[in-house]
Structure 1
Amino acid sequence: MPFEFRVNGRIDRPVAEVFDAVVNPDQLSRYFVTLGGISGPLVAGTTVTWWGEVPIMVEEVAANERVVFRWDAMVAKGEAPYKTRVEMRFQSLDDGATMVTIAESGWHENEQGQKSSYINCEGWSQMLACMKAWLEHGINLRQGYYVSELSGKPALEPQG
C-alpha cells in the first residue's frame, strides 16, 4: 500500500492572495520557511532552496490553481536518496475564501517511508494552520515553535 496523504484547510482570503503566500518567498518566509530563508519564487522549471539547504524542484505552477514540486524524502541511514511529489491546489470558494489542498506521495514502502510520510503530513497540516494565522490575523505561529529555531539551526521535523 503506497504511503501518501492529502490535507486541506480553508483560508478566509481570496485565492490570488493565498496562492501568492505560497509562491512568493517574501510571504512564505513570514509564516512557514521562517529560518534559513528561501532562494527565490516558485517558478516552473526552477530549483529553489528552503531553509537555506533543502532543494525544491518546481515542476508546475498554474497561477491561482496549482503548484507541483519534488523534494528529498527523509531516508534511513544507508538508503539511497529519492524524491517525493508535493501537489498544492487552490480552489476559490463561493464566499471569497480559498480551500488549499496539499497532497504528497512517492515514499518507499518501508518503515522509513511510513515514518517520513507521517512526519510530512504533520508538517503540511501545520503549514496550513500557520498560513491561516498569518493571512487572516498577521500572526507567525512558528516563531519559537521548534527548539532548534531558538538555537538558530533549521528544523525540518519536530524535535523531541
Structure 2
Amino acid sequence: MPFEFRVNGRIDRPVAQVFDAVVNPDQLSRYFVTLGGISGPLVAGATVKWWGEVPVQVEAVEQNERIVFRWGATVAKGEEPYQTSVEMRFQSLDDGATMVTIAEKGWRENEQGQKGSYINCEGWSQMLACMKAWLEYGINLRQGYYLSELSGKPALEPQA
C-alpha cells in the first residue's frame, strides 16, 4: 500500500491572501519556514530553497488554485535519495474563507518511507495551524517551538 496523506484546514481569509501566504517568501517565512528563510517565490519551473538548504522544485502554480512541487524524502543511511510530490489546493468558500488541502505522495514502501510520511503529515498539519494563526491573528506559532530554532539549525525532523 503506498504511503500518502491529505490534510486540510479552513483559513478565515480570502483565497488570494491565503495563496499569497504560500507563494510569497516574505509571508511564508513569517509563520512556517522561519529559520533560514526562503530563497525566492514559488513560481513554476523554479527551484527555491527552504530553511536555507532544502531544495523545492516547483512544478506548477495556478494562481489562487493550486501549487505542486517535489522535494527530497528523508532517507535511511545508505538509501538512494528520491523525491516526493506535494500538491496544495486552495478553494474559496461561500463565506469568504479558504479551504487549503495539502496532499503528499511518493514515499518508498519501506519502514523509512512510512516514518517520513508520518513526519511530513505532522509537519503539514502544523503548517496549516501556523498559517491560520498568522493570517487570522498575526501570531507566529513556530517561534521557539523547536529546539533547533534555539540552536540555530533547521529542523528537518522532530527533535528528541
Which position in structure 2 is the counterpart of 1:121?
121
Structure 2 counterpart of 1:45, which letter? Answer: G
| DSSP 3-state at the match of 1:122 | helix
Which position in structure 1 is the counterpart of 2:81?
81
Offset of 1:156 from its aligned partner?
1.3
The 5 A counterparts of 1:60-139 are 60-139=60-139
| DSSP 3-state at the match of 2:124 | helix
5+ residue gaps, structure 2: none
Which position in structure 1 is the counterpart of 2:45?
45
Offset of 1:32 from its aligned partner?
0.1
d(CA) in 2 for partners of 1:152 and 1:75?
23
Which position in structure 1 is the counterpart of 2:142?
142
Offset of 1:157 from its aligned partner?
1.6
| DSSP 3-state at the match of 1:16 | helix
Structure 2 counterpart of 1:152, which letter? Answer: G
Offset of 1:97 from its aligned partner?
0.1
Offset of 1:6 from its aligned partner?
0.0
d(CA) in 2 for partners of 1:158 and 1:142?
13
d(CA) in 2 for partners of 1:77 and 1:156?
15
Structure 1 counterpart of 2:55, which letter? Answer: P
Structure 2 counterpart of 1:6, which letter? Answer: R
Offset of 1:3 from its aligned partner?
0.0
| DSSP 3-state at the match of 1:64 | coil
1:102-152, Cα deviation, whole Å (9 max, x unpaired): 000000000000000000000000000000000000000000000010111
Structure 1 vs Structure 2 CA RMSD = 0.3
Q: Return the TM-score normalized by structure 2.
A: 1.00
Which position in structure 1 is the counterpart of 2:27?
27
d(CA) in 2 for partners of 1:158 and 1:109?
21
| DSSP 3-state at the match of 1:119 | helix
| DSSP 3-state at the match of 1:141 | coil
| DSSP 3-state at the match of 1:76 | coil
Which position in structure 2 is the counterpart of 1:2?
2
d(CA) in 2 for partners of 1:62 and 1:22?
12
d(CA) in 2 for partners of 1:131 and 1:82?
28
